[in-house]
Amino acid sequence: MATPDHDAIIVGAGFSGIYLLHKLREAGFNVLLVDAAAQPGGIWYWNRYPGARVDSQVPLYEFSLPEVWQTWSWSERFPGWEELRAYFNHVCDTLDLWPLMRMSTNVDSARFDEDNSIWHLQLGGGDTVSTRFLLPALGFASKPYIPDISGLENYAGEWCHTARWPQQGIDLEGRKIAVIGTGASGVQVAQEAAKSAKNLTLLQRTPILALPMQQERLTDLAQKREQKDYPDIFNRRKQTSAGFDCQSLEVSALEVDKDERDAHFEYLWQRGGLRFWYHNFADLLTNREANRHAYDFWRDKVRARIADPALAEKLAPIEPPHPFGTKRPSLEQDFYEIFGQDNVALVDLKETPIARIKTNAIETATGEIECDLIVFATGFDAGRGGLIDMNITGRGGLGLAQAWDDGLRAYLGMAVAGFPNMLFSYGPLSPSGFANGPTSAEIQGDWICDFMVWLRDSDIKLFDAETQAEQGWTEMVAQAGAMTLFPEADSWYMGANIPGKKRQLINFPSLSGYAAVCDDVAQNGYRGFATVKSTNKEPFAQ
C-alpha cells in the first residue's frame, strides 16, 4: 500500500480550517492546510468591501482557546474585516500554525485512489500532494453568485462582487454607484458608499428585514475585567440552538398579552445584533400569527425612520414579503436614514426589472441608471458551491457535482456516500448558516478530531458514509424544515437564490441538537459509517 504525504489535508483557512489544524496537530497527526487566499481568515480575507463586518458579537465570535483570547482584545463589539484579519494572524502566531500552512495555493482537483485508499490533490502551479483523509473547510459562502445579466461583458466601468472586492480597494469618492442586492453586504457597502458617492442607486428585489446593530466601542480594561466570565460564555454557547449566549424563549408569543410581547420585542431591539432573531418567542419561526407580531413590530420601528410613505412601503411594506427571520436578518447602523439623502435612490426590481447592462448604465424597464461602478451584492451558491468548484472525484469516477445533481445529501452534514475518507465542516446539511461560525467550527472540529483518533486507534484505513444513513439524515433535515416557516421564503437557506438549484433546506436547524446527535453517533461506534481495517497496521503517515 502506498504511503500518503499526509494523514490529513485541510482545505480552507477560516474558523473551521484553522481550528481543525490546531486540533489535529495536537492529536499527533501529520496535517497540512492549504488555501487559495494570501492570508488566513476565510470569508474575512475575501470580504473586504467598505463596511464589511461580522453580525455576531464578540466574545461569542472568537475561539474559546484560552491561549488565544487571553492575549487578544477587540476594539468593537462587531469587528470589521481589518480587525478580523489581524485576529486570524494572532491565532496562527499564538498556536504556531504557520509551518503547517500553504497559503496562496489553490486546489484544482481532488481524486480518490481506490486501489490505495488515498486522496490525490492537484494544486495550482502543477504541484500534487496526497493524503489519507481530505477535510474541506470551505464554509457555506465561498462561491459568489453573479446573476446572468445581458450586456455585462460590454460594460465599460468597474464591477465586482462584494465577496471578491479587489485587495487594493476601490475608491468610492464621487462615483456613480449601482448596488445590486440588499442583503447583508449590500446594506453594509451602501452605508459606506452613501457618505461619499456622487450618486448611489440600490436595486432591490426583496426588502431586507434588517435589525439595529447597536455597535459599541470596547476598551482593553473592560475586556480584561470580563474575561473571567469567558469560560462560562464559551461553554454556554455550545448549549444553544444557534451557538450564541442564549436561545429562544420557552413561551409562545400568543401566550402573553400585547404589552408583555412588545416589552420583550423592545428589549431585544435595544440589545441589538441578531437577538431579535435568536432570543425571541419560541414559535417565532413555526407559527404564522406569532411571526406576524414580530414582523409588525419590526415594520413599525423602521417606518418611523422613513419620511416618504411610498419609500417606506418599499423598504418596510405593510404586508410582510416573507415571514420574519426566514431570510437571515442583516444588521444595519444607519441604512434607512441614507434614503433621506439627495444622492441615494432605491429601485424596486419587481416593478422595474433590469433589462440589460449597457456600456455606462443599467437599463431597466423604465429608464437608465448611469453608473461607473456596479457592485453585485447577490450572495452565494451556499453550501455546495465551493465544494463543487474543488472538482472532487470519489469512487467510480463520480464527481461531487454529479452526486448532488438531484439535491444535496450528506450524512451528519459532513460525509457523502461514495466519497471515502472525506469530511467537510461548516457545509450543507450541517447547522452552518443557522449557527455562529466559531461555535460550529469547534463542535464539528472536536468531533472530526475524535473520529480520526478512533480510526487511528482502531487501525482503520477507510471509512465511507452508508447510503441509508445519508438518506436518513437528508430526509430528517427536510422534515425539520417542513415544521417551520422557512420554506415560505425564496432564500438561500432553501437554495432558491440559484437558478436550477433544488429547493431544499440546506441547514440543520439546531446546533445543540446537532451536537447531541453527533455525540450519540460517536458513542455508538460511529454508526452510519462503513469501515475497512488496515492490513499493514500503518494507515497513517509517520
How distant, in Å, are the alpha carbons of 55, 240, 241, 330 from that of 244? 12, 6, 8, 16
**Residue 71 corresponds to which cell in the numbers above?**
492575549
What is the 8-class DSSP label of residue 541? -
| b/e burial code for range 419-446 (CB count within 10 A of at least 16 → b) | bbbbbbbbbbbbbbbbbbbbbbbbbbbb
267: part of which helix (H) or strand (E)? Answer: helix 258-271
Q: Which of 144, 153, 155 shows the shortest CA–CA distance to 379?
A: 144
Question: Using N-to-C axis directions, what is the helix angle for 15-26 and 437-457, rounded to 10°?
Answer: 30
Question: Using N-to-C axis directions, what is the helix angle for 258-271 and 288-303, rounded to 10°?
Answer: 60
Q: Each residue's pLDDT tens digit in the chain (542 positions)? A: 689 999 999 999 999 999 999 999 999 999 999 999 999 999 999 999 999 999 999 999 999 999 999 999 999 999 999 999 999 999 999 999 999 999 999 999 999 999 999 999 999 989 999 999 999 999 998 999 999 999 999 999 999 999 999 999 999 999 999 999 999 999 999 999 999 999 999 999 999 999 999 999 999 999 999 999 999 999 999 999 999 999 999 999 999 999 999 999 999 999 999 999 999 999 999 999 999 999 999 999 999 999 999 999 999 999 999 999 999 999 999 999 999 999 999 999 999 999 999 999 999 999 999 999 999 999 999 999 999 999 999 999 999 999 999 999 999 999 999 999 999 999 999 999 999 999 999 999 999 999 999 999 999 999 999 999 999 999 999 999 999 999 999 999 999 999 999 999 999 999 999 999 999 999 999 999 999 998 865 555 54
Asked if 149 contacts 356 with a C-beta cutoff of 8 angstroms, the reply is yes
